[in-house]
Every structure is written in structure tokens, then in C-alpha cells.
Amino acid sequence: MAEIKIRKLQKKDVANGYLHTLDSLRKASDLSQRKAQSIFDKISSNPNEAIYVAVMDSKVVGAASIIIEQKFIHGGGKAGHIEDVAVAKEFQGKGIGQKVVRALLEHAQKQGCYKTILDCSDDLIPFYEKLGFKKYSNAMRFDHRSKT
């Protein structure tokens, strides 16, 4: 396997494998380039949000995002929230997801986070436990319905 480079998402990556990689979670590659670029601009302008990607042969094959939440508790501490950990189906099982999550954990630590949390399905618990996560609480979800 070629060398994997982990770095922050760049604008060119959106059309170079990033949306295809997200398809392993939920269809994203059908997003128009205009809409995708608009979303990229909003995310990249937020200093409390970052997307890291795994790049192999100049193409994105893995990704994950983190949001840093400023709190009043913990002396004004910060918490990291990891979302959308994805590896393109053809590259799963090669340690790419672990590399991207480790990069996010390092990013969170540099930002001064006292904890980093994520939600996952039961079948992914062993994957995250290998990275040092511990099952801590239950996740709850409320789905907002659009009025369209």
C-alpha cells in the first residue's frame, strides 16, 4: 500500500475523493460542487472546526471531523466532538481510520481539550477502544424534521 499522509482538508480535496469517502457513511458524492464548496468555505472559516483527511496517491481515502466546544464548566475548558469518521470502502481495514482519529485527538489536545467524545454504534466500540476511548454514557438523538 502506498504511503498515507494525514492532513487538514483542502478545497481541492472536496472533488478529489472526500465526498466519495463520506459515501461509506451516507451518500455525499451527489452533492453539487457549488454546494460542496460553499460548505467547505463555512467550515474552514470556523476556527473551532476541523476536518482531517488521509491522502494516498493524491486522493482522499479517509476522513473525520472535530468540533471544539468552549465550556463554562471545567474552568472554561474545551471538549472535542469527533464526527463523520469515514474510510472509502475499498480501503477499510488498513488502519486508515485509526490514523485519522489519532490526528484529531492530537489536534484536540493542542487546542486544550480536557476530553474528546464521539458517538458510535456497538459494532464499532472495539475499534475506538483500541484507540483509548472508553464506553462512558448513552447517546440520545432527536431528529429535526424539515418542513419541505
- Taking alpha carbons only, the member of 89, 105, 109 closest to residue 21 is 89
- Taking alpha carbons only, the member of 54, 73, 55 closest to residue 64 is 54
Q: How many CA atoms lie within 13 A of 110 on its CB side?
A: 9
Per-residue pLDDT tens over the stretch 46-95: 999 999 999 999 999 999 999 999 999 999 999 999 999 999 999 999 99
- Quick check: 11 pLDDT over 90? yes
Q: What's the rounded mean pLDDT across residues 7-18?
A: 97
Return the pLDDT at 90.
95
Q: What's the rounded mean pLDDT across residues 5-30?
A: 97
- The answer to whether residues 67 and 83 touch, using CB atoms and an 8 Å cutoff, is yes
Right CATH number for 4-130 from 2.40.340.10, 3.40.50.1970, 3.40.190.10, 3.40.630.30? 3.40.630.30
Per-residue pLDDT tens over the stretch 31-43: 999 999 999 999 9
Distance between CA atoms of residues 118 and 129, nearest Å: 12
Domain boundaries in the chain?
4-130
